[in-house]
Copies of this chain bind each other. A is one copy, B any other.
Amino acid sequence: MVITARQEALVVSSWNEMKDDAPTFALNLYLKLFEIIPSAAKRFSFLRDSNVPLEKNAKLKAHAMGVFVMTCEAATQLRKTGRVNMGANTSVQHLGAVHFKAGIGDVHFEILKFALLETIKEGLPYMWSEELKDAWSNSYDHLVAAIKAEM
């Protein structure tokens, strides 16, 4: 079993808790990412070509939201089918191609994982636990492995 029922439940329930305030979580995720590696900003075409401040950049928020939503979906898919395979609109193949083109490497996926976990920890302190951390870690690792396999 790649993910336990309890891990899936933890990811889904904490995402439900974050959903209402999803734009804030999305923004915080990228503020954390850029705090760790400021140079990452230039990897996003929609940031390079834009003067809109981060907190008003709709594309950045959509991208960040995707990280939460897809990690959460990965948990459910892993539980159902034992593997990650996103829907047609955000296929793993497409994500592999886009991230390959952008020159994204292992180190970037690792940093985003750290930023994701820190964002959840800071945003949901009353739900945070090592178990919750492991559940998100596990889902994220499987999602990234699926994306990397297409790169």
Copies of this chain in its oligomeric complex? 2
Check A38 for interface membership: any CB of B closer than 8 A: yes
* Contact mask for chain A residues 115-151; partner B; CB cutoff 8 A; 1 contact, 0 none: 0000000000000000000000000000000000000
Whether the pair A107, B110 counts as a contact (CB closer than 8 A) is no
Whether the pair A36, B106 counts as a contact (CB closer than 8 A) is no
Return chain B residues, CB-CB under 8 Å to A51: none
Q: With a 10 A CB-CB cut-off, give which of A35, A36, A40, A106 has the most chain B CB atoms.
A: A36
Return chain B residues, CB-CB under 8 Å to A35: 114
Count contacts on A: residues with CB < 8 A to the other chain: 12
**CB within 8 Å of B: which of A35-79?**
35-40
Return chain B residues, CB-CB under 8 Å to A111: 36-37, 107, 111
Return chain B residues, CB-CB under 8 Å to A110: 36-39
Q: How close is A136's CB to chain B, nearest CB, in angstroms?
A: 14
| Chain A contacts to B: CB under 8 angstroms | 35-40, 106-108, 110-111, 114
